[in-house]
Amino acid sequence: MKRTVFTLFILSLGINTTFAQKFGYVDTGYILEQMPDYREAQGEIDKLSLSWEEEIKKMFQEVEQMQIAFHAEEVLLTEEMKKDRRAEIDRKMQEVKEYQKKVFGFEGLFFLKKKELIKPVQDKIWEAVEKMAKNNRLAIVFDKSGELVMIYTDPIHDYTDYVLEELGLANENDVIKN
């Protein structure tokens, strides 16, 4: 009886280690920095953003000029004309704010363009991470650059270089850490 219990105990220890999950982490921020596609997309996004910001700035300046002109001529205008000019300025200001919201608001043109340009790059990374995880038999892969706080990480669990290698971005001088 004691022998059977002891054997079952030893077998249960072996089963627990058999089901242990292997994990690792990658630094997608670092990976993105190494990808020319990402730098190119980010450059295009920055140019678009700057262009839209300039356009909106000019629109606000037009409204400001309308207000300055109104205040300069206000004493010469009838009440009806003042009312019309104020309404025109308010309408123009509303148009500018709506355009600004259309461009930079939630799911605006900027958001959609950024999503369009960055998604293919992200997809490449996710595919490379998935392939690397399967090749290294990892059950869990964390992203070091995300909001997940990792107080300590043993470099032996860092698979960033494997993902870079999978993407064809590994330097010849780099030695894989693991």
Query: In tens digits, what is the pLDDT along the chain, a chain of 178 residues?
Result: 655 544 545 555 555 445 567 888 888 889 999 999 999 999 999 999 999 999 999 999 999 999 999 999 999 999 999 999 999 999 999 999 999 999 999 999 999 999 999 999 999 998 998 898 888 888 888 888 877 655 455 677 788 888 888 888 877 655 554 4
Nearest-angstrom CA–CA distance, 97 and 99: 5
Nearest-angstrom CA–CA distance, 108 and 66: 27
Question: What are the domain boundaries of the chain?
Answer: 21-166
Regarding pTM above 0.75, the answer is no
The amino acid sitting at 96 is V
Residue 139 has what pLDDT?
82
> Residue 44: which of 125, 124, 110, 120 has the closest Cα?
110
Angle (CA) 44-130-178 rounded to 5° is 100
Residue 13 has what pLDDT?
54
Residue with tokens 């064809």: 168
Nearest-angstrom CA–CA distance, 33 and 80: 60
Residue 151 has what pLDDT?
47
Residue 111 has what pLDDT?
95
Copy the structure tokens of residue 86: 């104020």
